[in-house]
Every structure is written in structure tokens, then in C-alpha cells.
């Protein structure tokens, strides 16, 4: 279930920032599926305005379980770590740099990809600064 107070308080971020989400009770298969994770990260960056040809991706599958994956572009970076053995948990760490990024929508899509039943949000949002 989404923490709607956090998401509603930050419906549209003007100057970028960082949004960390701790997820619990995720779909166990999703936590181990490198292809699913890669596609979720790719869609997140595209949603934030990344050029499809400019996305770089790196992942590592741990044995016997869990993975870490990162996708980077000129407009955003997202990292995901999964711990199937620890309450089927994961973390998402999203950095976004565009002035018109809708991080709230992107976070919702990433959470849905993992099917989490519980979330804890830690947004760190930047305000627009005047240089005059």
C-alpha cells in the first residue's frame, strides 16, 4: 500500500532530487528476475525523459539469491537491491535531474513491478534556486 501522504505531498517535483523506497512483501519471483528488473529500470528512466539510446545498465545476481541492478542516463539514475530471504524486501534509490520529472509516477511504477505489500518512503527533493 502506498504511503499516500508522502506521495501527495510531492505530486510533481520541480528541480530533481533523490527518492529512496524500502519495499517489503514483494513478489518472490520478481525479486529474482533480472529481465523484469532491467525492464522496470529502463521504463523508469524513459518515464523521466531519458533517451532510449543513452541508457547504461549494470547488474549482479548473487548466489543463492538476490540481485543489485543500476540503470543510468543523463536525466536520472535508479538502483535496485533485492533481498528475497529478508521479508521479500528490496530498496529503490532514484536520482532525477530534470526540472519536469514526475518522480511520484515513476516510483509507483517501480513499486508495482515488484508487487510490494509495504513501503517506506524517504524523498529528498530539491527546490528551484534563483541565482539572481
- Determine the pLDDT at residue 127: 60
Give residue-wise pLDDT tens across range 59-103.
999 999 999 999 999 999 999 999 999 999 999 999 998 767 788
Q: How far apart are CA 18 and CA 91, in angstroms?
A: 13
- Determine the pLDDT at residue 2: 38
Measure Cα distances from 122 to 31, 46, 97 in Å: 21, 22, 17
Confidence band, pLDDT 50/70/90 cuts, at residue 1? very low
Q: How far apart are CA 62 and CA 78, in angstroms?
A: 19
Nearest to 52 by CA among 24, 71, 70, 33: 71
Residues 6+ apart with CB under 8 A from 120: 3, 21, 22
Q: Is the per-residue pLDDT at 9 higher than 60? A: no
| Cβ pair 56, 71 in contact under 8 A | yes
Measure Cα distances from 2 to 8, 74, 85, 111 in Å: 10, 28, 23, 9
| pTM listed for this prediction | 0.82
| Cβ pair 101, 7 in contact under 8 A | no
Can you tell me the mean pLDDT for 50-56? 96
- Determine the pLDDT at residue 5: 47
Domains (range + CATH), the chain: 4-125 (3.60.90.10)
* Region of residue 109 (phi > 0: left; psi between -120 and 50: alpha; otherwise: beta): alpha
Q: How far apart are CA 6 and CA 38, in angstroms?
A: 26
Sign of CA dihedral 47, 52, 58, 59: positive
Amino acid at each position: 500500500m502506498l504511503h499516500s501522504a508522502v506521495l501527495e505531498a510531492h505530486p510533481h517535483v520541480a528541480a530533481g532530487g533523490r527518492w529512496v523506497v524500502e519495499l517489503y512483501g514483494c513478489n518472490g519471483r520478481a525479486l529474482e528476475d533480472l529481465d523484469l528488473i532491467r525492464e522496470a529500470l529502463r521504463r523508469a528512466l524513459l518515464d523521466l525523459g531519458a533517451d532510449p539510446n543513452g541508457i547504461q545498465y549494470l547488474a549482479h545476481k548473487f548466489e543463492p539469491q538476490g540481485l543489485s541492478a543500476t540503470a543510468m542516463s543523463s536525466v536520472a539514475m535508479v538502483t535496485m537491491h533485492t533481498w528475497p530471504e529478508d521479508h521479500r524486501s528490496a530498496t529503490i534509490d532514484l536520482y532525477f535531474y530534470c526540472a519536469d520529472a514526475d518522480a511520484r509516477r515513476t516510483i509507483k511504477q517501480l513499486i508495482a513491478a515488484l508487487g510490494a505489500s509495504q513501503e517506506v518512503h524517504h524523498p529528498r527533493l530539491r527546490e528551484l534556486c534563483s541565482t539572481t
